[in-house]
Amino acid sequence: MTESLLPVDAYLVESLPEIWFGAVLFALGMYVVLDGFDFGIGMLYATRTDEHERETFLAGFGPVWDANEVWLVAFGTMLLAAFPRVYSRLLADNYLLTIGFVLALLFRGLGPELREQRDDEQWQRYADYAFVGGSVFAPLLFGMLAGRWLFDGATLPMVLTGVGLVAVSVVTGAAFLAAKTEPGLAAELRTYGIGATVAYLGGVVVLLGTVVLTDAGGVADTILSGPVAAVVALSVAAGVGGSLLARRGQYRAWLVSALALPTLLTVLIALLLYPAIYPPTGLLVREAVVSPLALNLVTVLGFPVLVVVLWYFKFLYGVFSGPIEREGYGG
Amino acid sequence: MTYMSPTPVLTTLGPGVMPFLSAELASRMQFGWTISVHIIFASLSIGLAPFIVYFTWKDVRTNDDRYARLRSFWVKVFAAGFVMGTVTGIPMSFQFGTNFPQFSEVAGELIGGPLTFEAKMAFFLEAVFLGVLLYGRERVRDRTYVLSSVLVGVGAWLSGFWILVVNAWMQTPRGYEMITRNGMEVAKLTDPLAAFLTPRMTWMYVHMMNASVISVALLVAGVSAYVIWKKPDTNAWNTALKLAVVLLVVSAPFQAIHGDAYGRHVEDTQPQKFAAMEAHYETGQADLHLLAFPKSASALTDPRAENLVTVSLPAVGSFLASGGDFDAEVIGLNEYEENPPVALVFWSFRFMVGLGFLFIGLALWGGYLTYRGRLSDSTRYLKAMIAASPLGYAALLTGWYVTEIGRQPWVIQGELKTSEAVSPTLTGTEATLTLVGFVVVYVGLILTALYILKWLVREELQALGVRESSDGRWHGPVPGVSDDD
Ligand code: HDD
Ligand code: HEM
Ligand code: HEM
């Protein structure tokens, strides 16, 4: 009976596997962009000593972080649903990195909740350690995981990818907070944001240079191609332009260009992968993808839901747009 | 797929260094441990969701401050539990890949769909609208606010649905055929409806959702009983206790009746597991069914029905007399080459069923007291409910042990063994290290959750004007129920 509803032996459209490659990377991009600024908030939090400012940071983070984090689950499960071998190998081959990453996420998520529960200085200090530590290590380890995915076993590119993700998270975190807080604090955040932008752009250049020289993951040729050059150029433009906007105090515009950085980073990942999807074994998108019926099914049932999800994400950010109210974490 | 010969249980990190578990054993312990912790928080969300919706709706509709008080307390519990559910859920979704990659690859087409639907349909819904529920009271209209609480609940119940689609398929797999892809034998989806709605699914969903309701009703009753024990004249908490008791009166008997029928379904579909559940019946009464609730008429026409009625504890005696040796005597299990750890399955099953009957007793007792209008006056009942508050979770966990351990050695019944599902690249050292890490962190997590509950209760008591120093029960005449504060 399913045959009448869904094609069993052919993909709904010829390019469905490639569309799913795009969809998986879209979920990854959403995660890197959205949880990225959460990580940034967590790291910048460490620079604050004033209780009021800390609470402002947490109030900006509180309503959205959990929803942002679900994009990670969406990414993981979409990868499993469309390319089970990649999901399996990526995680199994990088066992300790992955477990380290999820534990870092655990501490990051738990920290603010614990802090909220008890008015005790010592207790709150430990909760803060969990929050800040998790916010540093989660993007670092996740970036390293991405590095292992892209560049096979090479150590330096792997570490640089991790550091790059940390830096870009600081940029977006600073821009997000600056757009939602008072001018004095925003000006301080701007300094961190611009510094991180410089570090990030420098990191990307060093990373790509290293990869070209060592041909890690066999992607040297791709890097020297037009599309990658375009992405790098756009990143530099977004970074420099954003920093100038920040200087001028146009924080909302800065936020937009800051968010372009992790977006472009995801595009870069896609370019470096395709047409392979698991460079360490050279596995191609077409080889790794599930059978037509399974992919058609997740498309027909999943894509409309994804549209609805995007719609109520917009609602969520709408409700909590505008300046952060100092109502503290937990309302 | 690559078949792995059984790995030795212990490997060593060089001579004289501490022994490490095998990758397989450590992975299984890690999965079992982490999901046991996750499920506590996940079912807290599932069971608490109806309470939250009810309190929120009543609060917004009636402006009765009883409900405002209950809502504010239980939303805090919900929020803390949700965070813990989230942070423990993420490791779950990665462990399929880190520890059981062969399983993920073999079953990817079948389980990937439901898992991604879970993320898209359930987790997003829950997380987004919980944000609104926790932080948005002043930012959205009343109607949107109540709707948010409903959507959070729908999200929790939907995530239970999709994850159980996966688990039910692993118990009774259908709707697929085995093909070779990239040099590995994997399952190819052939019939989505059959694969998603396996025979097991409906049983599991009803039993699990009701188990969550029971567990949370017991928790709510326990906390209410404690507050009332300290301060009898609190309007809000008397309401909460009554509500929980009413829920229990319905859900506890239902669970036993349903569980009885469920048991027969397991017998039909997983005879080996069923044999393990009833192990001690070597004497031929293999179907003890402690759950012989005189409900189902068809049970009487079933040849096994006579045995079903013998809710005989003497069977337990005969088990003990046999020296706990199951494997040797039991007919049925002998026909299989490899069996699950029978004692674990057997005792877990007894534990769950026994608690199930205890809950029925508590529910009926409470129902009777409510009927007589003396629910909050009976110190004995209050004490019993305080003591019973964690027991729902004990039943829920042991029930899962029956399901999951009873399925061994299979991870996909009849198709893939757990030993074949484990990562071939994982070393015992790595797996043991992460296992230790998860044990340490999650023990901390559970302790923290308990402390949070304790602090919330203490705060509530202070708000109700109970002095810190008053250790015992309220003394003196029981005041008439009056307004709070
Ligand atoms: C509050 C929790 C709770 C209570 C009071 C009961 N159960 Fe249960 N039971 C569960 C919680 C649970 C569970 C943890 O939720 C399980 C695991 C899988 C499932 O679907 O539900 C389960 C599984 C489960 C199974 C299936 C095992 C499998 O799938 O292999 C059977 C046959 C029963 N139960 C039977 C009963 C009976 C006869 C009860 C009589 C009182 C009972 N349960 C009470
Ligand atoms: C929520 C309640 C659950 C509990 C308490 C639970 C418990 C356990 C335990 C104790 C084991 C180890 C069994 C053994 O090694 O002998 C196990 C194994 C496993 N379970 Fe579950 N489980 C639950 C739900 C699920 C669900 C929903 C899934 C799938 C979606 C699942 C998938 C697995 C897998 C893949 C294993 C393989 C490891 C193994 O068999 O040892 N479990 N589970
Ligand atoms: C019967 C077993 C399970 C049930 C009923 C269940 C249910 C839930 C629920 C209700 C939540 C929402 C968070 C909360 O409110 O606490 C949740 C979170 C989560 N669960 Fe489970 N779960 C089960 C097992 C699993 C398994 C086996 C996995 C692995 C695939 C998993 C993955 C997750 C993830 C990733 C989250 C986090 C979602 C978020 O960020 O909100 N769960 N689970």
Give the list of residues 6+ apart from residue A177 with CB closer than 8 angstroms, or none: A40, A41, A44, A56, A57, A60, A185, A186, A189
Q: Enumerate the domain spans of chain B.
A: 23-283+331-462
Strand partners, B179: B186
Ligand 2 contacts CB of residue B411 (under 6 A): yes
Would an 8 Å CB–CB cutoff place B90 in contact with chain A?
yes
Q: Mark out the alpha helices in B197-234 (DSSP H runs).
A: 199-230
Q: Which residues of A touch B123 (CB under 8 A)?
A: 70, 73-74
Q: Enumerate the domain spans of chain A.
A: 16-328
DSSP assigned state of B482: B
Per-residue model confidence as pLDDT tens digits over A253-271:
999 999 999 999 999 999 9
Strand partners, A9: none
Contact in structure between B214 and B250 (CB atoms under 8 Å): no
CA dihedral A141, A147, A149, A152 (to 10 degrees): -120
Per-residue model confidence as pLDDT tens digits over A36-46:
999 999 999 98
B97-126 residues touching A, CB cutoff 8 A = 97-99, 101-102, 104-105, 107-113, 115-121, 123-125
Q: How far is the centre of ligand 2, averaged over its atoms, from the C-alpha of B32 (Å)? A: 6
Task: Search chain B and give the residue with CA nearest A127.
Answer: B448
Q: How confident is the model at residue B485 (pLDDT cuts 50, 70, 90)?
A: very low
Q: How far is the centre of ligand 3, averaged over its atoms, from the C-alpha of B121 (Å)? A: 12
CA-closest residue to ligand 1 atom 18: B400
The ligand 2 atom at the shortest distance from the C-alpha of residue B103 is: 35
Q: How far is the centre of ligand 1, averaged over its atoms, from the C-alpha of B222 (Å)? A: 22
Q: Is the pLDDT at A329 greater than 60, yes or no? A: no
Q: Is the pLDDT at B332 greater than 60, yes or no? A: no
The ligand 1 atom at the shortest distance from the C-alpha of residue B260 is: 38
Q: Residue B472: its pLDDT value, please?
A: 62
Q: How confident is the model at residue A298 (pLDDT cuts 50, 70, 90)?
A: very high
Q: Residue B335: its pLDDT value, please?
A: 65
Q: Is the pLDDT at B304 greater than 50, yes or no? A: no
Tell me the pLDDT of chain B averaged across its residues: 81
Q: How far is the centre of ligand 2, averaged over its atoms, from the C-alpha of B91 (Å)? A: 14
Q: Please tell me the least confidently modeled range out of A317-331, B8-22, B128-142, B457-471.
A: B8-22
Q: Residue B84: its pLDDT value, please?
A: 94
Backbone angles phi, psi at B12, to 5 degrees: -125, 150
Backbone angles phi, psi at B170, to 5 degrees: -65, -30
B107, B139, B189 ranked by CB distance to A293: nearest: B189
CA-closest residue to ligand 2 atom 35: B411
Per-residue pLDDT, averaged over B457-482, amounts to 66
Say whether domain A16-328 belongs to CATH 1.20.1630.
yes
Q: Please tell me the least confidently modeled range out of A129-138, B376-385, B473-482.
A: B473-482
